[in-house]
Amino acid sequence: MTTATASPAPGTRQPRGRARRAAVLEAARRLFAKQGFKGASLAAIAQEAGLTDAGLLYHFPTKSDLLLAVIAEGDREQDEALEKVREAQGLPLLERMAEFGADLEADPILTALDVTLSAENLAADSEINRYFVDRYQRFRDMLTTAFEEARRAGDLIGDFDPAVEAANMTAVLDGLRLQWLLSDGAVSMADGMRAYVGGVIARLAPRA
């Protein structure tokens, strides 16, 4: 049995085509993050990328195609950031979460894009809504497993619910992310996550 191979995206066979496509994705990421999907027009994105409208449409025939490509690229980068966390398990993974706020601060445009798109698609039954619902579920599942493993290892003790702790940690990270954006960085995600994760571990760790 042969496996079908997906055709390359339009314009990606030559270095110039790849560079133009990358420029469109970067411009779309910036404008979607600032103005949202509905507010950012294809014409404005083309101008930002230094292309004609026709040049943009050659790479991305519809605005939805462009949005999905931006999300896929962002997802790849988020996965790279999460790999730093997934290398650990149990308590070491939770301890590594203390630095996840700093990871998000390092890419402000992607962080803003996530907040903008998730807010725009909060109640919509759409592919974007399902994307964020699934990603949040995977993130909570990862943290829930880490709390369970830490308890089995005896690193954390007490009558706590791993799923509740995972949801709370996710909520704190989300809240800090929003405050960081609205305060133009005055509220630190990095400091906030370090303090929160340290407090959770201190609360649940065995007493010396």
Give the domains, in start order, of the chain with CATH numbers. 10-61 (1.10.10.60), 71-204 (1.10.357.10)
pLDDT of amino acid 3? 36
Q: What is the mean pLDDT of residues 30-55?
A: 88
**CB contact set of 196 (below 8 Å; sequence gap of 6+):** 98, 169, 172
E strand or H helix at 50, and its extent? none
Closest of 180, 60, 57 to residue 115, by C-alpha: 180
Could you report the per-residue pLDDT of 136-164, keeping only the tens digit for each?
999 999 999 999 999 999 999 989 999 99
Is the pLDDT confidence value at 165 over 90? yes
Pairwise CA distance, residues 169 & 153, whole Å: 20
Closest of 51, 70, 53, 52 to residue 9, by C-alpha: 70
Q: What is the overall mean pLDDT for the chain? A: 85
User: Residue 87 — very low, low, confident or very high, per pLDDT cuts 50/70/90?
Assistant: low
Q: What are the C-alpha distances in Å from 46 to residues 5, 50, 150?
A: 30, 6, 49
More confident residue, 1 or 47: 47
Q: Model-level pTM greater than 0.95?
A: no
pLDDT of amino acid 192? 97
Is the pLDDT confidence value at 108 over 80? yes
Buried b (16+ CB within 10 A) or exposed e, 38-62: eebebeebbebbebeeeebbbbbee
pLDDT of amino acid 201? 97
Q: Terminal CA-to-CA distance of the chain, rounded, Å?
A: 61
Is the pLDDT confidence value at 177 over 60? yes
Q: What is the mean pLDDT of residues 75-85?
A: 69
Pairwise CA distance, residues 84 & 96, whole Å: 8
